[in-house]
Structure 1
Amino acid sequence: MARKPSPQAMRERAAKTAAVMGSPSGAAVAAAPKKKTSLAQFAREVRAEARKITWTSRKETWITSVMVAIMVTLAAIFFWIVNTILNFGITQLLKIATGG
């Protein structure tokens, strides 16, 4: 397990950080310099990342779509029932309030 730094060491580190971040040139020093990449290297990196993509199969996509459709239907039915109950309750409450 790592040793906990002393309070003095923590204060010194905080002071150094504040000094670097406080100065206008310090912000540039604190940020890592961007390395220039060529268009060809960028294309190679994009291609390498694209190879890591795993696509779902047609069956998995179909099953997921059906599940989403079922859940949307159930949610619509639930909110329709809640809306109907609240509408009935408010209508009855307004009837009572208006004396009708």
Structure 2
Amino acid sequence: MARNKGSKPQAMKERAARTAAAVSPSSALAAGAAPKKRVGLLQFLREVRAEARKITWTTPRETWITSVFVGIMVVLAAVFLQLVDLILGWSLSFILNFANGG
């Protein structure tokens, strides 16, 4: 049986190493980047405030519509599950009655 080109153990190890290097994410420290410096409390609070300003809140109308939609979906799911439960219960009782000879 002929071996494929590059099927020697050393070639396989080299391919595995190249694949692992290409797949694995390189960390900032491994890439030679300096670690982030510590930020003071005031700077942190300023950044939090700036990010909080970017938040877009839903309008009361959008909140109401979404809430009604969720309520409708909950009712539909409850009705569906109740129907499935009834069908499975009837089926199981039919099978058990048939098995008992009745």
TM (norm. structure 2) is 0.68
Q: By how many angstroms is 1:28 displaced?
A: 8.6
Unaligned runs of 5+ in 1: 1-10, 18-26
Match of 2:47 among 45, 48, 52: 45
Count of residues in correspondence between the two structures: 77
Q: Structure 1 CA distance, aligned partners of 2:92 and 2:40?
A: 67
Q: Using CA pairs under 8 Å that are at least 6 residues apart, name the structure with larger relative contact order, 1 or 2.
A: 1
Match of 2:88 among 78, 86, 89: 86
> Which one has a larger percent helix, Structure 1 or Structure 2?
1
Aligned equivalent of 2:38: 36
TM (norm. structure 1) is 0.70
Q: Structure 2 CA distance, aligned partners of 1:91 and 1:63?
A: 42
Q: Structure 2 CA distance, aligned partners of 1:48 and 1:29?
A: 28
Q: Percent identity?
A: 60
**Which 4+ runs in 1 deviate beyond 2 A?**
none
Q: Structure 2 CA distance, aligned partners of 1:91 and 1:50?
A: 58
Residues 1:56 and 2:58 are matched in the alignment: yes
Unaligned runs of 5+ in 2: 1-14, 22-26
Q: Give the direction of change, closer, same or farther, for the CA distance of 1:46–1:82 in structure 2 (3 Å limit).
A: same
